[in-house]
Amino acid sequence: MHNLDFLSNLRRRSPGTALAGLFLAVSLGLIAPAPAAAEVIGTVDTVFHMLSRDDDIVVEAFDDPDIQGVTCYLSRARKGGVKGMLGVAEDPSDASIECIRTGPITVPEDIKSGKRDGERVFKKSTSLIFKSMQVIRFYDKKRNVLVYMVYSDRVVEGSPKNSVACVKVE
């Protein structure tokens, strides 16, 4: 269902139901703009499982949704086994990132001014409910550089494991 159709249906009900539905939609990310989607470039098996999917490292690419001309490559560990096959395994927090210039780069003024500093540009669920891997973008005004950081978080406690990549804006 389209986001606007969802909101229209909520308005037809009581205000309390509409408010609860709106809260649910925001919580589930149905209304907020979605971060970039990734394209799988390739995988490498790391642990063999006889009757199910192997543990592996997956390499994905995504374009910065707000800055044309920047593509990031993310490599991350993915759990296999029966739990991995069913989508209930929790992936490890290990990840690496590299971002490159793929065309002319124009940084929007609200990013240059710092109003959108620390903005999430990518998010991937790495467990059934509570864990995700995210890429955050910063702009280093002094050096005219875009900085991308990947890290993993949970509802209660994240991981200090992270990786950083930089792209010079010319």
User: Please, where are the H alpha helices in 100-161?
Assistant: 109-112
Average pLDDT over all residues of the chain:
77
**pLDDT over 60 at 65, yes or no:** yes
- Tell me if residue 39 falls in helix, strand or coil: strand
Strands 39-47, 55-63: pairing is antiparallel
Q: Look at phi and psi of residue 114 and say left if phi exceeds 0, alpha if psi is from -120 to 50, else beta.
A: left
Q: How confident is the model at residue 88 (pLDDT cuts 50, 70, 90)?
A: low
**pLDDT over 70 at 115, yes or no:** yes
**Per-residue burial over 77-104, b = 16 or more CB atoms within 10 Å of its CB, e = otherwise:** bbbbbeebeeeebbbbbebbbbbeeeee
What pLDDT was estimated at residue 12? 43
Percent helix, strand and coil across the chain, each to the nearest 5: 20, 40, 40
Q: How confident is the model at residue 132 (pLDDT cuts 50, 70, 90)?
A: confident
Least confident window among 21-25, 32-36, 126-130, 132-136: 21-25
What angle do the packed helices 3-11 and 15-27 form, to 10 degrees?
160
What is the radius of gyration, based on Cα positions, of the chain?
19
One-letter amino acid of 79: K
Least confident window among 48-52, 87-91, 119-123: 87-91
What pLDDT was estimated at residue 133? 83
Calculate mean pLDDT across residues 76-83: 71
- The separation between CA 169 and the C-alpha centre of its own chain, rounded to angstroms, equals 22
**pLDDT over 50 at 7, yes or no:** no
What pLDDT was estimated at residue 83? 63
Strand partners, 144: none
**pLDDT over 60 at 48, yes or no:** yes
What pLDDT was estimated at residue 147? 97
Calculate mean pLDDT across residues 58-74: 95
Calculate mean pLDDT across residues 14-38: 50
Tens digits of per-residue pLDDT, 90-107?
A: 666 788 999 999 999 999
